[in-house]
Structure 1
Amino acid sequence: MAVKIRLRRMGTKKKPFYRIVVADSRSPRDGKFIEEIGYYNPLTAPKEVVVDSEKANNWIKNGAKPTDTVDRLFRENSVYNTEKDSKDTAEASESEATE
C-alpha cells in the first residue's frame, strides 16, 4: 500500500481550508484517510499551518511520501527537523565553544 501525506480540501465554495492527512494513494482526494496530522488555512493574512511534526516525521520514517505542496509546507515550517539534526547542531555548538 503506497501511503501519501497530502491535503484534503474542506471549507465552502471559494473559501478553501485544507487538512493535512495521511492516506492511501489510491483513495480520492477528499475520501478515506488513515490519520489527520494538521491543517493549512491559505486565507488568513499570514497563511496558517499547524502540523504535528512528531507524527509527520514518524510517517515519513515509515515510508509515507509527502506530495509536492505538503513537502513545501513542511520545509517552510521546519517539520523536517529531527532529533538527530538537533543533536548534530548541539554537538557542533559545543565543539565551537570549547575551541
Structure 2
Amino acid sequence: MSLKIRLARAGAKKRPYYHIVVADSRSPRDGRFIEKVGSYNPMLPAEHEDRVRLVGERIAYWLSKGALATDRVARFLGNAGLTEKPAYRPQPIQSAPKKKAQERAAASAAAAA
C-alpha cells in the first residue's frame, strides 16, 4: 500500500479549509483516510500561527513508514522543519504567450529591426 500525506478539502463553498491526512494513494481526495495529522486554513494571513497546524511526531512516524508528501504538504513540512525544504519551483504563468506566439513575436521584432 502506497501512502500519501496530502490535503483533503473541507469547509463551505468559497471558504476552503483543508485537513492534512495520511491516505492510501488510491483513495479519493476527500474520501477515506488513515489518520488526520494537521490542518491548513488558506483564509488566514500567511503569518498567522493557526494557518498551518501539524502533529509533528505522527508525521515523522508516517514518513518513517514510507509515506510520501505531496508538493504543497512537502512545502509545509519544510517550513516547519520536519523535512528538508523541496527545491523551489515557480508557479507557471498561464497567461504568458505560448511557444508559437513567442516565435512570431521574435520574428516580427527581427523583421522590424
State the TM-score, normalized to the length of structure 1.
0.77
Greater share of strand residues, 1 or 2?
1
SS at match of 2:36: strand
Give the superposition deviation at 1:80: 2.6
Q: What is the aligned residue count? A: 81
In the other structure, the counterpart of 1:95 is none
Give the superposition deviation at 1:45: 1.6
Give the superposition deviation at 1:77: 1.8
> What pairs with 1:1-99 in structure 2 (closer than 5 Å)?
1-46=1-46, 48-80=51-83
Give the superposition deviation at 1:26: 0.2
Greater share of helix residues, 1 or 2?
1
RMSD: 1.3
SS at match of 2:74: helix
Larger radius of gyration: 2
- 8 Å contact from structure 1 (residues 53, 80) kept in 2: no
| Structure with higher RCO (Cα < 8 A, 6+ apart) | 1
Gapped runs of 5+ residues in structure 2?
Answer: 85-113
In 1, distance between residues paired with 2:42 and 2:81? 18
In 2, distance between residues paired with 1:74 and 1:14? 26
Give the superposition deviation at 1:39: 0.3
- 8 Å contact from structure 1 (residues 9, 18) kept in 2: yes
Gapped runs of 5+ residues in structure 1?
Answer: 82-99
State the TM-score, normalized to the length of structure 2.
0.68
